[in-house]
Amino acid sequence: MSDYIVYHNPRCSKSRMALAYLEDEHKKYQVIEYLKKSSTKSDLENVLVKLGIPAEELVRKGEPDFREHFKGKILSEPEWISVMLKYPKLIERPIVILGDKAVVARPVEKIDELN
β-strand pairing of 4-7 with 95-98: antiparallel
Residue pair 60/34 in contact by the 8 Å Cβ criterion:
no
- Sequence-ordered list of residues with C-beta below 8 angstroms from that of 32, at least 6 positions apart, any chain: 5, 6, 7, 8, 39
- Sequence-ordered list of residues with C-beta below 8 angstroms from that of 13, at least 6 positions apart, any chain: none
The yes-or-no answer on residue 103 being catalytic is no
d(CA 108, CA 16): 10
SS3 35: coil
Of 3, 10, 11, 12, the active-site residue reads: 12
The set of catalytic residues is 12
